[in-house]
Amino acid sequence: MSLSALLAATPSPEPVGSLDEAAERAGNAAGWVQENWSTWLNTGLRILLIAAIALVLRYAIRRALTNLIDRMNRSAQAVEGTALGGLLVNAERRRQRSEAIGSVLRSVTSFLILGTAALMILGAFQINLAPLLASAGVAGVALGFGARNLVTDFLSGVFMILEDQYGVGDQIDAGVASGEVIEVGLRVTKLRGDNGEIWYVRNGEVKRIGNLSQGWSTAGVDVMVRPTEDLEEVGAAITAATEEMTKEEPWSERLWGPVEVLGLDSVLLDSMTVRVTAKTMPGKSLSVERELRWRIKRALDAAGIRMVGPATAEADGEASPDPTAGMAAPSAYASATSPQSLAATPIPPTTMTK
């Protein structure tokens, strides 16, 4: 038999995976896709809808907050430079406070909206959120304990700004430091001290705040004169000087009331003190006190009334010499009955008799 006849008689091997199996698999895949395409489409559309609503809502709320902050800043700038603005509004203080509040609100809004959208998207994928939420709770507790100082500083700064405890330009006493507020942050407050130094005070470390720039301040001056001076003349000279001061600029704006002569604060053998007070604009008490001392001193000099102080009063009077200055301290041996004298007395010799 020839080779060609043998090859023709030998059956050919069947291919791996017949066409029927391939067709069956393709049919199963098509059927599975046909069964689930609606679910996929619904899930995809749901995810897109959640993301679109979250982004639009976030943008709208952040834009509204930004417009509100800009409006607050514009209202503060509108009264800047006027007498009312100088008394009630500090543009930089209002700007920093509004920016800080806006930053906090925008951050909270973004966290809530995007966090809620992420959880809803995970729920659309049929993911069990219980273990995820439990892990997030444990991580939040651990972070709270580990960074409790940072959390304390942040929360203290938020409440301080919301309550408007102090702002830029205020003179405050924070306990750990005092000075003028030059910057207010959510974590740190920056102060400039009296000597020009800058203090960085963490908001969580501030236990008490003394704001010297809110409401009104009190200027007090003590006038010490000799006890022989006529009180009527002293009061008239002080009243004339203070009335002239209240009619001049800028003291007419800084003084929020008449200067009052309260009367004698103390009477000593060599001096007497007259107390003078005035209600002033916040933060202007020191300058008013200096001007009051200047004018009162000039008025008293013009009236021939001499001011005195502790050192001056002692210098005016002739100090009597101390009669005991040249005497020595008493000795314990001056008394014959003192223990020291008895101890120093020689022992008499004993006589021997037979």
CB 212 within 8 A of CB 130: no
What CA–CA distance (Å, rounded) separates 51 from 43?
12
- 3-class SS of residue 211: strand
pLDDT at site 341:
65
What CA–CA distance (Å, rounded) separates 221 from 219?
7
pLDDT at site 84:
46
- 3-class SS of residue 334: helix
pLDDT at site 56:
92
pLDDT at site 27:
65
pLDDT at site 342:
66
pLDDT at site 60:
92
What are the strands, taking DSSP E only, across 144-303? 171-173, 178-184, 188-192, 198-202, 210-211, 217-225, 260-267, 272-280
**Residues in the chain, pLDDT under 50:** 1, 3, 5-7, 13-16, 83-89, 312-317, 319, 354
Radius of gyration of the chain (CA): 45
- 3-class SS of residue 93: helix
Tell me the pTM: 0.49
